[in-house]
Structure 1
């Protein structure tokens, strides 16, 4: 688990997209045209990391990484084969309660 704030994550993602754009030798205008994301939106994203999810996905379709994002967010599959496996696994965890304040 990363200990990073959402605002820092936004900036890191924006920097990664910018680096991919530059590796592809694309200008901001070129990426905006190819992706369908308005140029002003792309500029704001690269400067501040602020963008809608739809626009981010459009950019990822062009610079790459959309498949990785989608696959990363898939639920993890369990390796249970029988109900006994589930019961054994449930016995390994102890319930914990938070302190009341």
Structure 2
């Protein structure tokens, strides 16, 4: 099992390795991706970045295909699953214990 921190660090390390394999400097990747150089440096050092930043970097590194594997849709099991169950648009509402304020 990996912790969230380990996953974040791994993504940042792999992005840096990909950048180096492509022969890009940080400044070149910054320009290609549209991500500010300071933001890119912080991402490579700590893994801290918004999802939008990570996606922009992935596209510049030609790694956008790997992003499609994140949160894949589950295929319906039967035709009845498709016909009988509408697509959920939001999560269930939490129930509060009796007597507590909402």
1:65 and 2:66 are equivalent in the alignment: no
**Larger deviation: 43-52 or 71-80?**
71-80
Residue aligning to 1:91 = none
Partners in 2 of 1:64 and 1:73 — Cα distance? 20
Partners in 2 of 1:21 and 1:54 — Cα distance? 18
Partners in 2 of 1:44 and 1:72 — Cα distance? 23
The counterpart of 1:22, out of the listed 9, 20, 23, is: 20
SS in 1 for 2:68: helix
| TM-score normalised per structure 2 | 0.72
Aligned pairs, number: 82
Residue aligning to 2:8 = 10
1:45 and 2:43 are equivalent in the alignment: yes
RMSD (Å), alpha carbons:
1.8
Partners in 2 of 1:68 and 1:12 — Cα distance? 14
Using the TM superposition, give the Cα deviation of residue 82 of structure 1 relative to its aligned residue in structure 2, in angstroms: 4.5
**Larger deviation: 61-70 or 5-14?**
61-70
SS in 2 for 1:76: coil
Q: Which runs of 5+ in 2 are unaligned?
A: 82-102
| TM-score normalised per structure 1 | 0.73
Name the one with the larger helix percent.
1
